[in-house]
Structure 1
Amino acid sequence: MLNYGLASRGPSRRETHPRDTVAERLIAVGDVHGCRAALEGLLEVVSLRGGDRLILLGDYVDRGPDSRGVIDLVLDLRRSHDVVTLLGNHEEMMLGALERPASVGWWLRYGGRETLASYGPQTTPKDIPAEHREFLAGLQDYHEEDEFFFTHGGYVEGESLDRQPPEALRWTNLAQRMPGPHTSGKTAVVGHSSQKNGQVLDAGHLICIDTFCHGGGRLTAIDALTRKTWQVDRDGAPV
């Protein structure tokens, strides 16, 4: 497994603490990958309400056309809604590039070039705004609710959530290894492993909602409590 990340983070050091209120809807959103128009369209069809909790599973950046716009939109959302923002493997790569020049080449190869272009011509990693750096550095490894937990990529089924190895949380490829039910008994909601047919993968104990938006698929949201889904295409039109 390639490791572009930040070894200093350690296992699951940024876990969230329980929220004070119970959400009416637990709405998770899959990998956006720079597709701001898709995220705007998805939020419109979901129509967020005051009692909702929005859980963004990571990979806001890279590959799509407007990574900067996606981060700006997420920052605006956090000012007005209950939003949980997880760390994806592409944010991990971006953080590595911002902190270690030797990592820039790897990041550019896997979508960083498009991300830099979204900030303007001739942008280099050192030109990324401080607010966006702080956003990336503050992303969580996972989020836990009474009956569900949310990670970007996956998990090790026999390890507690606060002991999960970072590579499992962000780099698990479900096509290569589907983890079994987690020891907590909770249902996992993940992204990362793109379902190129545009369909949600529901294995019962695990739901994957990365539906390949940047590659011509769909951007998906799901209410974990009811399994209701919403999908839009890359341009934000409902499908």
Structure 2
Amino acid sequence: MAKTFVIGDIHGALKALQQVLERAAVSTNDTLIFLGDYVDGWSESPAVLDLFIAISHTHNCIFLRGNHDELALHWLQNNHDNPMWYDHGGESTVKAYQNVSEATKQKHIAFLLSIKNYHLDEKNRLFIHAGFTNLKGVTHEHFPRLIYWDRTLWEMALSLDNTISKDSIFYPKRLKLYHEIYIGHTPVTQINQTIPINKANIWNIDTGAAFKGPLTILDIDSKEFWQSDPVYLLYPNEMGRN
């Protein structure tokens, strides 16, 4: 039976990505939903995009845009100098592209331009990198870039009083719009966790692969998940985004 998997923030960790795809025994019949932030952090960002382009021809893949993907795209397109990006993972991306051909760069630009801001499936499950602010949902978001930058959705879920019922006027309207919401962007290592965390109807799949945590892949129906080794152990001579 075909499965649907969601994968957290990768940040250039090709080895971790290969591990989770193997450990979850992903087949060509399965659907893979990637939540964004494919680049910036570990040294194999170009190779991650190469793998994505390859498996897009063999698997049913849905690629969502993360804030780091947008930042890297801007640099690839016009060599945009962004010191803040450089200090938060961009340096590794710049170095990794030193030995990448112009033709491959153009393929990566085309790929990064093609990815989606969000995915909503037939069961009203929303997949998005970061969050949204509009009380009518992602299709009404006045500032689309918030879809891959916002942290308030997750912060709200973390602070939600569990005694407030869903039919209460005080229950957050954003959480009533979708059956489930799958996000990355804000690593659960910030709350001292390294596994997917469920708060209200939100599942945070960013388990800190950019830092000291593992990369995670989760079966959205069974909620079974598989993880890579802690990513820093796969790249012992690198610092990631620490």
**Shorter-chain TM band:** 0.7 to 0.9
1:222 pairs with 215, 218, 225, which one? 218
- Distance change (3 Å), C-alpha of 1:48 and 1:176: closer
Equivalence for 1:7: none
Unaligned stretches of 5+ residues in structure 2: 158-171, 235-242
Identity over aligned residues, as a percent? 27
* 2:136 aligned with 1:140: no
Measure the CA separation in 1 of the matches of 2:27 and 2:80: 44
Q: Secondary structure at the match of 1:207?
A: strand
- Counterpart of 1:193, as a letter, is T
Is 2:133 the counterpart of 1:156? yes
- TM-score, normalized by length of structure 2? 0.79
Aligned pair partner of 1:189 in 173, 182, 206: 182
Task: Give how far 1:229 is off.
Answer: 0.9
Amino acid at match of 2:118: Y
Q: Secondary structure of 1:222's partner? A: strand
User: For 1:61 and 1:102, how far apart are their aligned partners in 2?
Assistant: 16
CA contact (8 A) 1:96 1:103 kept: no
Write 1 or 2 for the structure with the bigger share of helix: 2
- Whether the 8 Å contact between 2:133 and 2:153 is mirrored in structure 1 is no
Corresponding position of 2:106: 130
Instruction: Decide which of 204, 207, 218 is 2:203's aligned counterpart.
Output: 207
Which amino acid in the other structure matches residue 7 of structure 2? V
Counterparts of 1:149 and 1:75, CA distance in 2 = 23
1:103-150 deviation line (CA, Å, top 9, x unaligned): 4333322211101211236x79x8861100101111100011123110
- Per-residue CA deviations over 1:35-82 (Å, capped at 9, x if unaligned) read 000000000011122431100000000011210111111111111000
Q: Does the 8 Å CA contact 2:188/2:197 hold for their aligned counterparts?
A: yes
- The CA distance in 1 between the partners of 2:80 and 2:97, in whole Å, is 21
- Which consecutive residues of structure 1, in runs of 5 or more, have no partner in the other structure? 1-22
Q: CA RMSD in A?
A: 2.5
The answer to which of 40-49 and 172-181 deviates more is 172-181
Report the TM-score, using the length of structure 1 for normalisation: 0.80
| Inter-CA distance 49–128: structure 2 relative to 1 (3 Å threshold) | closer
Structure label with greater radius of gyration: 2
Cα pair 2:182 2:205 within 8 Å, conserved: yes
Equivalences, count: 212
For 2:10 and 2:95, the matched residues in 1 are separated by: 17
Residues 106 and 24 (structure 1), Cα distance of their counterparts in 2 relative to 1, 3 Å cut? same
Aligned mates of 2:103, 2:122 — CA distance in 1: 41
Q: Report the AA paired with residue 200 of structure 1.
A: P
Give the CA deviation at 1:24. 3.3
